[in-house]
Structure formats: structure tokens, C-alpha cells
């Protein structure tokens, strides 16, 4: 019925650039770590935009924010959204595109005088990135009842402060309850953050599933000793075990093949001196796969390797799981809707998995869900160089508008 309705690309880009100014980094990009003062400014800005568009804004006890546009009928809303927190060297579009495309869709409907039957809701979820407080997607996880509010609040960040303390400091907590949401359907638009769409020359990704994620932190404790006088056979070298494992992790991904990826992203060694055998090492391993069994296999092989090597070297090993999410399939009918909306608008479209975690995978636990991807130039993300062409941002937001209209009609 409203097939020809289109969003205003300039207005969308204007909001993206205004939000990108908050926490802007020299040389481009943005740093708005969750629950910092920059995050507070971003939250206030987006909530003000929501109110200007006539949305009814509610904030839940986990700091997730919802702007609701009533429909002609009562009932659970059709929801869209994403996050506005970033990693330390974030781009302008990761997360923000999902939230601001939602607002742009609302403004387009306002301008056209269209009231949908079901209510519409634009949400942004607290601490999606997990760059300050693990796990990532914490806000949406608590929202759907996958983690208790108490556990989330007690989570300590990289700077030693807890989520609860930081939420209090920036006034992020609202009073709406969490844990049992009533949502008709959820669709999230996001930059791909990988190279597949660009490489294929395709504008829209209809996301079918999200990779499973396993994050573990390993801490090794050995004995510091003189690098010249300690024979190799008598060493308890924590650094050696950590570095050999890091190298094993890379080989593991290559050996398992398929969708398996594996990364050692954080690494520290102590005392970190040229002539001292390290007595301390701490590092993280990030394993991902779209297949549940293979992900488990990767975890098991990593476990075996480091356990045996630490034992041989006489080094004690502690492990801490930072995050663990199973692969998530999206609702086939929702994926079809995304694909159909793209085709209706004459856009090229392909079905694909998501390599990154997203709030949508949490919402998939409680309602039919899918995602819309747009190309990331050179596949770069979590980097100030992150870029998506203006036409692609606009095309994705138009697909979102169409899917929201279809779902809320």
C-alpha cells in the first residue's frame, strides 16, 4: 500500500553525523564506551530526538531506552533498534545506524501522516559492545530475561567500576521492568562489519543467523627468574604457555576451516622485562562459529592444548568465561520479509550469516526477528575508518521502513 514511500537520506546522515560528534576522535571515528559521560550525552541526544518525533519514551531498570509510537490498535509493538555505545575506536555507523534509521522511519511516517495498526517502537540497548563491561549485548540480554539485573549491575568493568555504579553516575536507570518483554517482531539494521556484501557487489544482506561466540580469559602464573642463568628445563614460563596458545588458536581456526574464526585480542605479560622469565600472563580468546558442534569442538581443543602445556611447564592456569552465546537462527518468515522488501525496491539482496553479535540475537529469544545488513567498505569496523556509502545507508533504511510497515500494517 505504501510501497513508494521513501525515507529522507540527508536527514538520516545529518543525525548520524550529529551523534558521531559526541565522543568524536581526532582523525574520525568515535569513542562512546558504555555508561561514560559521552554515552550519557549520546543517550540524552537520542531521547530528545525521540520526544521531538512524538514518541513516548520509557527507560527500563537496565538502562535500555524505548520510544513508542502508538498504533490505531492496542497490542505489542513492532520493534526496531540497536545500540549507541561504541568500542574505544568505533565508527559512526556501528549501532547508531540501527537506532537512527528507526527514528528516520518514524519521521517519514509522521510526515506522510500514516498511522500503522500496531504500535512501533525504536529501542537502543545498554552496553551492546561489551568493550568496558563483558559480556557484550548485556542490555538486550537482561531485557529478554537471559541474565538477572543483579548480576548485570554487579559486573565489574575494565576500570574496576561496576555497571550499577556507572549507571547511577550518569542517571541511566529507568523504572520499567525487564525480563519478560512483549514484542510482536524485531528487525535491526546494521552495517555488515565484514567484506562479503562489498565483495559480492550486493547492497542488502538478509541475515539468516548469527554466529555463536565463546570468550575466555586465561591467566597463567609461573616463576620469574634470570633469563641467563635458568636452564630451559627448569623454567616455569607463563609467557611461553600464553604465546604458544595464541599461536595454536590461529592454527586451530585454519585447521577447523569453514566458518571458524579465532582471535587472541588482549594480551599482557609480566614483569615484561628483557632479561626476566615471565611469571605472569593473561590473555583472551574469542572463538566463533555458525555451527554449534564445531564451536564446542574448537573450545575443547583449546582447553586440551593449554591444560597440557601449562602442566608440562609447571605453570598454574585459571580460566574465566567472559561470554558464551550459541549460534542463533532467525525466523525464516522474517528473513523472507527483508528479502522481499529489498526486491520490491529494486535493490540487490543476498542471504547471509552475521559474523558479529547483535542485540537482534537476544530479541530472537522472545519474538520473530531478523536483520538487514548494508555493505562496509573494505569490511572494516571497530575502527575509525569504518565507512558505508551514503546511498547504501539510505537503501538499508528504506528496506527497514518497508519491513516495519509490512509488520505493523
Say how far apart CA 111 and CA 2 lie, in whole Å: 13
- Is the CB of 118 or the CB of 358 nearer to Zn ion? 358
φ/ψ of 225, rounded to 5, equals -160, 170
For residues 245-274, which are near Zn ion according to CB under 5 A? none
Binding mask 78-107 for Zn ion (x = CB under 5 A): ----------------xx------------
Where in 170-199 is the site for Zn ion (CB under 5 A)?
Answer: none
Which residues does 80 contact at the CB level (< 8 Å), separation at least 6? Answer: 98, 101, 102, 105, 120, 121, 122, 123, 186, 187, 188, 189, 400, 404
Q: Which is nearer to Zn ion, 155 or 361 (CB)?
A: 361
CA–CA distance, 261 with 112 (Å, rounded to integer): 45
Task: Give the nearest distance from C-beta 355 to Zn ion in angstroms.
Answer: 12
Rank residues 99 and 295 by Cβ distance to Zn ion and give the closer one.
Answer: 99
Task: Supply the minimum distance, in Å, between the C-beta of residue 304 and Zn ion.
Answer: 33
* Number of residues binding to Zn ion, judged by CB under 5 A: 2
Cβ 193 to Zn ion, closest distance in Å?
Answer: 7
Could you tell me the smallest distance in angstroms from the CB atom of residue 164 to Zn ion?
24
Of 122, 94, 97, 103, nearest to 186 by C-alpha is 122
Q: Which is nearer to Zn ion, 93 or 283 (CB)?
A: 93
Which is nearer to Zn ion, 245 or 354 (by Cβ)?
354
CA distances from 115 to 18, 57, 92, 118, 291 (A): 28, 18, 31, 9, 41
Tell me, rounded to whole angstroms, the distance of Cα 206 from its chain centroid.
Answer: 17
CB of 128 to Zn ion, least distance (A): 6
What's the min distance (Å) between Cβ of 140 and Zn ion? 11
Q: Which is nearer to Zn ion, 94 or 394 (CB)?
A: 94
94/198 with CB nearer Zn ion: 94
Residue closer to Zn ion (CB basis): 263 or 297: 263
- If one counts every other C-beta atom within 10 angstroms of the C-beta of residue 263, the result is 15
Q: Least separation, in Å, of the C-beta of 190 and Zn ion?
A: 6
Chain position whose Cβ is nearest to Zn ion: 95
Inter-axis angle of helices 37-52 and 9-20, to 10 degrees? 150
Shortest distance, position 136 Cβ to Zn ion, whole Å: 9
Q: Please give the residue ranges that form the binding site for Zn ion (CB under 5 A).
A: 94-95
Amino acid at each position: 500500500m505504501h510501497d513508494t514511500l521513501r525515507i529522507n537520506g540527508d536527514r538520516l546522515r545529518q543525525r548520524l553525523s550529529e551523534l558521531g560528534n559526541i565522543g568524536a576522535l581526532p582523525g574520525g571515528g568515535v569513542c562512546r564506551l558504555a555508561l561514560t559521560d559521552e554515552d550519557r550525552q549520546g543517550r540524552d541526544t537520542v531521547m530528545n530526538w525521540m520526544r521531538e518525533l512524538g514518541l513516548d519514551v520509557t527507560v527500563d531498570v537496565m538502562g535500555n531506552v524505548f520510544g513508542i509510537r502508538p498504533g490505531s490498535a492496542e497490542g505489542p509493538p513492532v520493534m526496531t533498534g540497536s545500540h549507541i555505545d561504541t568500542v574505544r575506536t568505533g565508527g559512526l555507523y556501528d549501532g547508531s545506524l540501527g537506532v537512527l534509521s528507526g527514528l528516520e522511519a518514524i519521521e517519514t511516517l509522521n510526515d506522510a501522516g500514516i498511522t500503522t495498526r500496531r504500535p512501533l517502537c525504536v529501542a537502543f540497548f545498554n552496553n551492546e559492545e561489551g568493550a568496558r563491561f563483558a559480556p557484550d549485548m548485556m542490555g538486550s540480554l537482561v531485557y529478554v530475561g537471559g541474565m538477572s539485573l543483579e548480576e548485570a549491575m554487579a559486573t565489574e568493568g575494565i576500570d574496576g567500576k561496576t555497571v550499577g555504579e556507572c549507571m547511577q553516575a550518569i542517571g541511566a536507570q529507568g523504572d520499567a521492568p525487564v525480563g519478560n518483554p512483549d514484542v510482536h517482531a524485531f528487525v535491526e539494521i546494521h552495517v555488515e562489519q565484514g567484506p562479503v556484501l562489498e565483495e559480492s557487489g550486493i547492497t542488502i544482506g538478509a541475515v539468516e543467523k548469527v554466529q555463536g561466540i565463546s570468550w575466555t580469559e586465561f591467566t597463567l602464573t609461573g616463576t620469574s627468574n634470570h633469563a641467563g642463568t635458568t636452564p630451559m628445563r627448569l623454567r616455569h614460563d607463563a609467557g611461553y604457555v600464553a604465546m604458544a596458545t595464541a599461536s595454536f588458536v590461529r592454527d586451530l581456526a585454519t585447521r577447523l576451516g569453514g566458518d571458524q574464526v579465532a582471535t587472541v585480542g588482549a594480551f599482557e605479560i609480566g614483569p615484561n622485562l628483557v632479561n626476566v622469565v615471565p611469571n605472569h600472563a593473561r590473555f583472551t580468546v574469542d572463538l566463533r562459529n555458525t555451527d554449534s558442534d564445531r564451536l564446542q569442538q574448537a573450545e575443547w581443543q583449546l582447553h586440551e592444548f593449554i591444560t597440557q602445556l601449562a602442566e608440562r611447564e609447571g605453570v598454574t592456569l585459571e580460566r574465566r568465561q567472559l561470554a558464551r552465546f550459541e549460534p542463533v537462527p532467525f525466523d525464516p518468515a522474517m528473513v523472507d520479509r527483508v528479502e522481499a522488501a529489498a526486491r520490491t525496491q529494486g535493490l540487490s539482496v543476498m542471504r547471509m550469516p552475521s559474523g558479529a553479535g547483535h542485540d537482534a540475537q537476544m530479541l530472537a529469544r522472545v519474538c520473530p526477528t531478523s536483520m538487514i545488513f548494508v555493505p562496509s567498505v573494505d569490511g572494516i569496523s571497530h575502527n575509525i575508518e569504518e565507512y558505508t556509502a551514503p546511498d547504501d545507508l539510505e537503501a538499508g533504511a528504506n528496506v527497514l521502513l518497508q519491513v516495519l510497515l509490512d509488520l505493523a500494517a
